[in-house]
Amino acid sequence: MNAPTILHGYFRSSASFRVRIALNLKRIAYEDAFHHLRRGEQREPHYLELNHQGLVPTLEIDGQILVQSLSILDYLDETRPDPPLLPAAPAARARVRGLAQIVACDIHPIDNLRVLNYLRKTLLQPEDAVRNWYNLWIADGFGAIEAMLARSPETGRFCHGDNVTMADICLVPQVINARNFDLDMTPFPTLQRISNAALALPAFDRAIPSNQKDFE
């Protein structure tokens, strides 16, 4: 019997949320292993054996231990191509990856829990300064994405045409985080329209934080 696919994650983790969406889209059955980030469970020795950064997600699949959500999305797409997470043409793939990476490489890393905790505990910043930091970098990245989406004829129902891609998979969790932090989303109408369209799909809806078993 094949070993089960196990997603190590946390309900609030947007990088885990990306992987949950992709697993759902590709109809891959998986089990959850939850790691409570606010209690520091991601730094317990047994988990560090799997993920040496002490971050979620980690995906156990096909006898492999995979880290980094974008790399996991690529692996899933290469091994289970249907439905594809990238369009076929190189320029289109580059556009989708560019949008995805604004979120995953430029917004998310500086708004991560360990960065926010450094601001709070080491730099002794008050909670409103932390919130301002968080929202500043989301708004900065969202402004660029909004301009790219609103001005391009390649934008459709979703970020690239009418099929879901990696760009939507990265965007939606970040939009949900921004809403939770009360970011004013009115300057980003295209992001809102696309996120709402994606969240109407069962693969996205099942992946949202409040639908996870560890939600609190």
Ligand X SMILES: N[C@@H](CCC(=O)N[C@@H](CS)C(=O)NCC(=O)O)C(=O)O
**Residues engaged in binding ligand X (CB under 6 A):** 13-15, 37, 42, 55-57, 68-70, 104, 112-114
CB of 10 to ligand X, least distance (A): 6
Pick between residue 103 and residue 155 the one whose CB is nearest to ligand X: 103
3-state DSSP call for residue 39? helix
Helices 14-25 & 69-79, crossing angle to 10 degrees? 10
CB of 23 to ligand X, least distance (A): 14
CB of 74 to ligand X, least distance (A): 12
Cβ neighbors of 82 (< 8 A, separation 6 or more) are 26
Pick between residue 114 and residue 179 the one whose CB is nearest to ligand X: 114
CB of 51 to ligand X, least distance (A): 8
Instruction: Give the residue from 46, 48, 37 showing the smallest Cα distance to 15.
Output: 37
CB of 109 to ligand X, least distance (A): 6
Q: Which helix (H) or strand (E) holds 96?
A: helix 90-101
Pick between residue 51 and residue 155 the one whose CB is nearest to ligand X: 51
Instruction: Give the residue from 175, 43, 200, 186 showing the smallest Cα distance to 102.
Output: 175
3-state DSSP call for residue 67? strand
For residues 94 and 44, the answer to whether their CB atoms sit within 8 Å is no
Pick between residue 37 and residue 169 the one whose CB is nearest to ligand X: 37
Positive or negative: CA dihedral 122, 124, 129, 131: positive
Instruction: Please state, in angstroms and rounded to a whole number, the distance separating the CA atoms of residues 40 and 214.
Output: 15
Pick between residue 71 and residue 196 the one whose CB is nearest to ligand X: 71
In the bound state, the residue with its beta carbon closest to ligand X is 114
